């Protein structure tokens, strides 16, 4: 059985290790914002946070699940909990191929002119890096209105 709970200080190294393992953005990991998924034996199998940016926007971020536990609904549990805890407008940045996954939770792709400043900067930076050819940067910025409902 998987349980969701707030982070404790002792969980911090395990969260950082998971974020690094699944190769997602390790910046701005504020432990007080995290929800983690654990087994009955307290094994950390997933995590996620909602972070606030200087422009006031909120971002669903750091959604990670241990590879051996993927495909079992853990990310869904974490996302639904974070959305429930933050019912207003939320943004996220993901690889383009994951857009369909996040649409299930009411997120929709957003145009650059509709993005808060933080997300416009990220989108422009990703485009510039992608144009160098050194690293593919197929990032998608998505938005969920507080009035959005999950599609079944």
Supply the pLDDT for residue 131: 67
Supply the pLDDT for residue 130: 64
Contacts of 40 (CB under 8 A, 6+ apart): 1, 3
Give domain limits for the chain.
Answer: 3-144
Question: With the C-alpha atoms ordered 52, 140, 146, 150, is the resulting torsion angle positive or negative?
Answer: negative
pLDDT tens for the 152 residues of the chain, in order:
999 999 998 999 999 999 999 988 888 888 889 999 999 999 999 999 999 999 999 999 999 999 999 999 999 999 999 999 999 999 999 988 999 999 999 999 999 899 999 999 888 887 776 666 655 567 889 999 976 444 44
Supply the pLDDT for residue 111: 92
Supply the pLDDT for residue 138: 78
Q: Cα dihedral angle (141, 29, 74, 78), rounded to 10 degrees?
A: -70
pLDDT tens-digit profile of 16-46?
999 999 988 888 888 889 999 999 999 999 9
Supply the pLDDT for residue 51: 94
Q: Does domain 3-144 have CATH number 3.40.630.30?
A: yes
| Strand spans (E) along the chain | 3-6, 34-38, 44-52, 58-65, 90-95, 108-109, 139-144
Supply the pLDDT for residue 24: 85
């Amino acid at each position: 059985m998987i349980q969701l709970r707030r982070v404790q200080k002792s969980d911090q190294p395990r969260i950082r290790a998971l974020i690094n393992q699944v190769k997602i953005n390790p910046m701005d990991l504020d432990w007080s914002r995290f929800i983690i998924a654990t087994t009955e034996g307290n094994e950390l199998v997933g995590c996620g946070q909602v972070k606030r940016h200087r422009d006031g926007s909120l971002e669903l971020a750091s959604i990670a699940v241990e590879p051996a536990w993927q495909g079992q609904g853990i990310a869904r549990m974490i996302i639904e909990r974070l959305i429930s805890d933050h019912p207003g407008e939320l943004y996220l940045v993901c690889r383009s191929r994951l857009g369909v996954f996040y649409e299930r939770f009411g997120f929709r792709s957003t145009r650059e002119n509709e993005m808060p400043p933080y997300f416009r900067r990220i989108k422009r930076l990703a485009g510039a890096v992608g144009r160098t050819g050194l690293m593919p940067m197929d990032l998608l910025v998505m938005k969920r209105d507080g009035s959005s409902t999950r599609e079944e």
